[in-house]
C-alpha cells in the first residue's frame, strides 16, 4: 500500500513544536530549522518597556533587583551581533524618549548565557528577560526561546559622536548615557598600549591629551578601551603615541571600564618607535649606580608543588632571560646594584647573570619569601665594587582580616585569614603575616678607590608591597594592608636612623602606589625622600594602567648622609609598548617588553665631592 504524503498542516505543527523551549534552548542541534524559527510569530506583550526606562538615569537600572529579578519586555534593532563571540548582542530603540539631552541610553545588551548564532545586525527583535548588572554593564539575561525576530535588514540607528569630559565623575555619567549604543570617535590618541587582554586605551581628541597622568588636576576620565572582541580588532597592537581615527562601534561597560567593540576597521596612524634610552654613564669611578627592575613573573621551567607558580617551556625561559639580560647590559649599562622583584628562585637569578650579554661579574643576595606564587625580591651586585656585610628579611604580624597576605584565602568578598603569628607577644596566635614578600635588608660597603677612602656601610631596603589586583574603582580592598606594610618599613627606617645615624639609608622597589598615597606618606614621614620627584613631570612614570601613566616604582633616600643621589632617571622601555613585545618571539632580541614596569636608575656620590659639576647635581 502506498503511504500518503504528510500534509502541510502536520509540517506546521512540527515547526510549532520546535518553537518550544527545547528548540530555543538548543538551536545548534537544529540548524536546518533556523530559517523557519526566525520567522515564527512573536509573542505580543502588553507590557513593553522602553529600553531607556530600563537603563534609567543612574549607573544601575531602576529595574534591577538582585534578590527578586525583574522581567521586562523590550524591542529594538540589533546593532552589534556578538552572540557567537561573547553570547551578547546589543539592541537599540530609536526614538526611545523625549529627553532632549539624552540623559538615558537608548540601547541595552542582551546576554543569552551561551554562544549561539541567533540574530543578525539589522534584525528588529523582541526580547523577554531579567534585568541584571554585570561588572557595571546593564543587561537583559534571557534564553533562546524568549527572543523573537520581527523583521530583518532594517537600517541601523545613527551613531553618536563621543566627546567625553576629562573629569572622572562627569565622564562616567557621560559614557553611561551611551551604554550599548552605536557610537563614533572622529580621532583619538593611544594613551595606554594594547595590553594582555587585547584592550587598547584611547583618549578622544577633544581631550587634547598625548599622555594622561594619574595626578592630572583635571582628572583621569574620558579614557576608554578599544576591545578586541568586536567585528574587527587593532592589528598590529599599538603603543602609546599612535593614533586611531574613524572609530565606529558599540559602547560597552565591563570590568569597571568603558570599551568599544569595533564594527568596522578604523584608521590607524602609527608613530615611529622611539630610540632606545640608555642610562647616563657614571661621572666618576667613585660613584655607584642603583637600579630597580621588576622582572615581571620571571618563572622557571620547574613545577614547585608547594606554590602556585607558572611553568614555562625551556625556549620561553631562555627568551625571557635574554630580554632581561639585554636590559641590564644595553639599557642600564650594568650598574653596580640592581634591586629586582618577581624572580622565582635564586637559580633563576643565577641563570640571568650568567647570560652572555652581561660582562660584569654579579653576585646575588636572595632569600625566599612567603609569596604564594613564589616571586621574590633580591639584589644583584658587582663583587668588584660592593661588599655585602649583613642581609636579612623583616616580617610583621597584623590583625587584618582582609583575605590578603600569605595567610589569606585571597577572597576579599568573603575574607578569612589564618592565625599564624602573635601580634602582642603574649604567646597566643592572634594575627597573620603582613608581607607576602618580606622586605630584604642589606648592609653593604662600597670598596674604596684611589680617590675615595673607605666609608661607613650603607643600608638598602628592597621592598615589593601588595599589588592592587583585587581593587575596584569603588573599593580599595588592598590599601589598608599596603599602608600597614609602608608603616612597618617606616619604623625600620626610623630604627636604623637611631641606631646608625651616619649610615645612608636607601629604599628601592615596586611599592604599588602613588607618590601622594597613604603608603608613600608613611614613608615620607620617616624622613625618606622620594627621588622620583626630581624628574621632569613629563617623564615621571613607571607604569601605565588602563591609559593612566603613574609612578609605582621608587628609589628613596635619607638626606644628609655621607652618600647621596646626584642623578635619577626613568628608562621607558616597557610601559609605553604593547604586551605583544613581551610575548612575540619576533621581538626576542629587543629589550622592549622585558617587563610591564619601567626602570629607575640613580647615581650616588660621596658627600665630600663638593666640586662635582653642577650639571651632575641638578636633577632632570
Q: In this predicted model, what pLDDT tens digit does every residue of 78-129 receive, in sequence order?
A: 999 999 999 999 999 998 877 655 679 999 999 998 899 999 999 999 999 9
In 39-192, alpha helices (H): 51-55, 168-176
Q: What is the pLDDT of residues 266-308, one digit of tens each?
A: 999 999 999 999 898 888 888 999 999 999 999 999 999 989 9
Q: In this structure, are 16 and 112 located in the same domain?
A: yes
- CA distances (Å), 613 to each of 6, 90, 284, in order? 101, 64, 11
Q: In this structure, are 20 and 142 located in the same domain?
A: yes
Residue 440 lies in a domain: no
Confidence at residue 20, expressed as pLDDT on a 0 to 100 scale: 41
CB atoms within 10 A of CB 219: 14
Q: In this structure, are 145 and 196 located in the same domain?
A: no
Q: In this structure, are 508 and 613 located in the same domain?
A: yes
User: How many domains in the chain?
Assistant: 3
Choose the final residue of a domain: 127, 151, 175: 151
> Mean pLDDT for each consecutive 10-residue tract of the chain (620 residues)?
44 44 39 45 69 92 93 97 94 83 86 93 97 93 95 97 96 95 98 97 97 97 96 96 98 94 98 92 89 97 92 96 98 97 97 97 97 97 96 98 97 97 95 98 89 80 97 93 98 97 97 98 98 96 98 97 92 97 92 97 80 37
Residue 574 lies in a domain: yes
CB distance 93 to 110 below 8 Å? no
Cell numbers 639580560 correspond to what residue? 325
Q: In this structure, are 249 and 215 located in the same domain?
A: yes
Q: How far apart are CA 147 and CA 52, in angstroms?
A: 19
CB distance 429 to 421 below 8 Å? yes
Confidence at residue 448, expressed as pLDDT on a 0 to 100 scale: 82
Residue 347 lies in a domain: yes
Residue 330 lies in a domain: yes
Confidence at residue 285, expressed as pLDDT on a 0 to 100 scale: 83
- Say if residue 310 is exposed, middle or buried (CB neighbours under 10 Å; 0-12, 13-18, 19+): middle
Domain containing 303 equals 288-393+445-467+503-617
Q: In this structure, are 456 and 582 located in the same domain?
A: yes
Sign of CA dihedral 388, 392, 393, 396: negative
Smallest CA-to-CA distance from 495 within 519, 459, 455 is with 459
Q: In this structure, are 332 and 297 located in the same domain?
A: yes
Domain holding 243: CATH number? 2.40.50
Confidence at residue 46, expressed as pLDDT on a 0 to 100 scale: 59
- DSSP conformation class of 180: T
Residue 281 lies in a domain: no
Domain holding 122: CATH number? 2.40.50.200
CB distance 77 to 151 below 8 Å? no
pTM, 2 dp: 0.89
Summary count for the chain: helices (H), strands (E): 11, 29
Q: In this structure, are 458 and 521 located in the same domain?
A: yes
Which grid cell is 396? 610583621
Give Cβ neighbours of residue 63 (< 8 Å, ≥ 6 apart). 49, 53, 54, 56, 70, 72, 131
Q: How far apart are CA 620 and CA 618, in angstroms?
A: 7
Which grid cell is 363? 653576585
Q: How far apart are CA 231 and CA 82, in angstroms?
A: 8
Q: What is the pLDDT of residues 183-240, one digit of tens each?
A: 999 999 999 999 999 999 999 999 999 999 999 999 999 999 999 999 999 999 999 9
Q: In this structure, are 125 and 183 located in the same domain?
A: no
Confidence at residue 449, expressed as pLDDT on a 0 to 100 scale: 73
Q: In this structure, are 173 and 210 located in the same domain?
A: yes
- CA distances (Å), 270 to each of 13, 273, 535, in order? 59, 9, 28
Q: How far apart are CA 476 and CA 344, in angstroms?
A: 28
Choose the final residue of a domain: 151, 180, 214: 151
Domain holding 458: CATH number? 3.60.10.10
Report the SS3 class of residue 13: helix
Residue 180 lies in a domain: yes
Amino acid at each position: 500500500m502506498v503511504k500518503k504524503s504528510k500534509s502541510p498542516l502536520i509540517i506546521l505543527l512540527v515547526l510549532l513544536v520546535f518553537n518550544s523551549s527545547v528548540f530555543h534552548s538548543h538551536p545548534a542541534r537544529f540548524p536546518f530549522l533556523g530559517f523557519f524559527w526566525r520567522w515564527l510569530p512573536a509573542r505580543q506583550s502588553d507590557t513593553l518597556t522602553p529600553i531607556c526606562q530600563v537603563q534609567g538615569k543612574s549607573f544601575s537600572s531602576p529595574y534591577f533587583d538582585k534578590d527578586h529579578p525583574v522581567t521586562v519586555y523590550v524591542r529594538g534593532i540589533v546593532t552589534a551581533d556578538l552572540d557567537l563571540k561573547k553570547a551578547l548582542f546589543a539592541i537599540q530603540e530609536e526614538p526611545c524618549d523625549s529627553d532632549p539631552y539624552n540623559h538615558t541610553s537608548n540601547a541595552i545588551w542582551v546576554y543569552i548565557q551561551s554562544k549561539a548564532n541567533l540574530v543578525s545586525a539589522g534584525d528588529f527583535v523582541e526580547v523577554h528577560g531579567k534585568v541584571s548588572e554585570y561588572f557595571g554593564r546593564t543587561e537583559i539575561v534571557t534564553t533562546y526561546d524568549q527572543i523573537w525576530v520581527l523583521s530583518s535588514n532594517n537600517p541601523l540607528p545613527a551613531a553618536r559622536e563621543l566627546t567625553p569630559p576629562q573629569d572622572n565623575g562627569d565622564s562616567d555619567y557621560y559614557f553611561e548615557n551611551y551604554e550599548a549604543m552605536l557610537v563614533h570617535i572622529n580621532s583619538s590618541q593611544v594613551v595606554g598600549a594594547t595590553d594582555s587582554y587585547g584592550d587598547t586605551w584611547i583618549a578622544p581628541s577633544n581631550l587634547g591629551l598625548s599622555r594622561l597622568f594619574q595626578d592630572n588636576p583635571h582628572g583621569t576620565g574620558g579614557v576608554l578601551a578599544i576591545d578586541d572582541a568586536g567585528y574587527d580588532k587593532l592589528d598590529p597592537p599599538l603603543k602609546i603615541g599612535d593614533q586611531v581615527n574613524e572609530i565606529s562601534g558599540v559602547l560597552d561597560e565591563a570590568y569597571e571600564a568603558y570599551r568599544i567593540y569595533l564594527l568596522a576597521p578604523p584608521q590607524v596612524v602609527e608613530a615611529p618607535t622611539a630610540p632606545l634610552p640608555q642610562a647616563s654613564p657614571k661621572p666618576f669611578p667613585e660613584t655607584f649606580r642603583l637600579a630597580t627592575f621588576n622582572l615581571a613573573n620571571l618563572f622557571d621551567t620547574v613545577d614547585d608543588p608547594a606554590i602556585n607558580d607558572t611553568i614555562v617551556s625551556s625556549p620561553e625561559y631562555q627568551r625571557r632571560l635574554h630580554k632581561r639580560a639585554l636590559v641590564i647590559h644595553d639599557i642600564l649599562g650594568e650598574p653596580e646594584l640592581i634591586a629586582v622583584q618577581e624572580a622565582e628562585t635564586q637559580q633563576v637569578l643565577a641563570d640571568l647573570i650568567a647570560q652572555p650579554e652581561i660582562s660584569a661579574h654579579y653576585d646575588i643576595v636572595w632569600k625566599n619569601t612567603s609569596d604564594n606564587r613564589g616571586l621574590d625580591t633580591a639584589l644583584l651586585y658587582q663583587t668588584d665594587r660592593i661588599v655585602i656585610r649583613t642581609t636579612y628579611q623583616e616580617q610583621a604580624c597584623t590583625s587584618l582580616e582582609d583575605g590578603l597576605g600569605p595567610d589569606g584565602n585571597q577572597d576579599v568578598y568573603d575574607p578569612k585569614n589564618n592565625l599564624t603569628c602573635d601580634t602582642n607577644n603574649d604567646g597566643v596566635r592572634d594575627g597573620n603575616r603582613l608581607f607576602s614578600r618580606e622586605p630584604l635588608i642589606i648592609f653593604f660597603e662600597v670598596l674604596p678607590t684611589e680617590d675615595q677612602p673607605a666609608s661607613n656601610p650603607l643600608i638598602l631596603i628592597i621592598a615589593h608591597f601588595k599589588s592592587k589586583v583585587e581593587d575596584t574603582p569603588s573599593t580599595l580592598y588592598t590599601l589598608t594592608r599596603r599602608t600597614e606594610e609602608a608603616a612597618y618599613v617606616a619604623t625600620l627606617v626610623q630604627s636604623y636612623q637611631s641606631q646608625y645615624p651616619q649610615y645612608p639609608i636607601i629604599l628601592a622597589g615596586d611599592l604599588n602606589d602613588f607618590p601622594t598615597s597613604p603608603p608613600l606618606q608613611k614613608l615620607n614621614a620617616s624622613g625618606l625622600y622620594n627621588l622620583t620627584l626630581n624628574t621632569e613631570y613629563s617623564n615621571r612614570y613607571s607604569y601605565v594602567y588602563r591609559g593612566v601613566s603613574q609612578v609605582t616604582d621608587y628609589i628613596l633616600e635619607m638626606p644628609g648622609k655621607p652618600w647621596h643621589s646626584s642623578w635619577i632617571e626613568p628608562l621607558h622601555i616597557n610601559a609605553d609598548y604593547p604586551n605583544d613585545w613581551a610575548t612575540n618571539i619576533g621581538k626576542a632580541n629587543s629589550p622592549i617588553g622585558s617587563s610591564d614596569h619601567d626602570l629607575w636608575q640613580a647615581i650616588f656620590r660621596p658627600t665630600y665631592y663638593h666640586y662635582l659639576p653642577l650639571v651632575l647635581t641638578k636633577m632632570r
